[in-house]
Amino acid sequence: MRDPDFRYYLITDRKQCHPRPLTEVVKQACREGIKAVQLREKDLGGRALFALAGELREITRRWEARLFINDRTDVALAVGADGVHCRETGVSPARIKNLQSSLVVGSSVHSIEASRRAEKEGADFLLFGPVFYTASKAKYGAPQGIEALQEVVEAAAVPVFAVGGITPERAPQCRSAGAYGVAGISSVMPADSVEQQVNRWRSILHTL
């Protein structure tokens, strides 16, 4: 596929924006120009997840943003999402594309070996991390740092997004290391002003 038409990849966590509804935060973010959203609410049962995905599809369609669904290709197919996001232990991108070839597939990877495998299996882009320390990713191990990010970027033929503790201050380092873009949860979800934060991202990345 062509390179993704987004440089900031917003990952959801409705607990981090509580008590504001997730739909409200995503709507604000898309209105301010966010171009890609990944629905990632692992604890939701199927019924609630399908319903939420449908709402996010309406919002993202209205604002011309891409919608990815974490792990659940069935939910992606049901709501007409643009793609699926795979965990490192998740379904292989090839399986997903067998179900519907037009789905764009991103893959989270935590090592250079995993990034090679994901690419071989057809991932369109990779998320590599955690680059920096972040509470939500601490369980995936210690921060891997900028050098590891650079190694993965150099080994990969597909775009790599940096994830894990990426703040606007740290983003330029990631871009200098070759990251195509950045992804994150906690730099937008809990923001007092989603608008301001999205605009900070735009000025740091020179696009969204």
Does residue 90 interact with a copy of itself by CB under 8 A?
Answer: yes
Out of 20, 31, 91, 140, the only residue in the binding site for a copy of itself (CB under 8 A) is 91
Cis peptide before 19 (omega within 30 of 0): yes
Is residue 165 annotated as involved in ligand binding? yes
Residues 9-68 that bind a copy of itself (CB under 8 A): 45-48, 50
One-letter amino acid of 25: V
Is residue 61 annotated as involved in ligand binding? no
Is residue 38 annotated as involved in ligand binding? yes
Does residue 129 interact with a copy of itself by CB under 8 A?
Answer: no
Which lies closer to a copy of itself via its Cβ, residue 13 or residue 71? 71
Q: What are phi and psi of 156, to 5 degrees?
A: -95, 145
User: Are 200 and 166 a contacting pair, CB within 8 Å?
Assistant: no
Out of 98, 176, 193, 196, the only residue in the binding site for a copy of itself (CB under 8 A) is 98
Which lies closer to a copy of itself via its Cβ, residue 20 or residue 95? 95
For residue 164, count CB atoms less than 10 angstroms from its CB and return exposed for 0-12, middle for 13-18, buried for 19 or more. buried
Does residue 141 interact with a copy of itself by CB under 8 A?
Answer: no
Q: How is residue 137 annotated by DSSP?
A: G
Does residue 114 interact with a copy of itself by CB under 8 A?
Answer: no
Q: How far apart are CA 131 and CA 17, in angstroms?
A: 23
One-letter amino acid of 168: P
User: Are 88 and 109 a contacting pair, CB within 8 Å?
Assistant: yes
Return residues touching a copy of itself (CB under 8 A): 45-48, 50, 71-74, 77-78, 86-87, 89-92, 95-96, 98-99
Annotated binding site: 38-42, 70-71, 108, 134-137, 165, 185-186
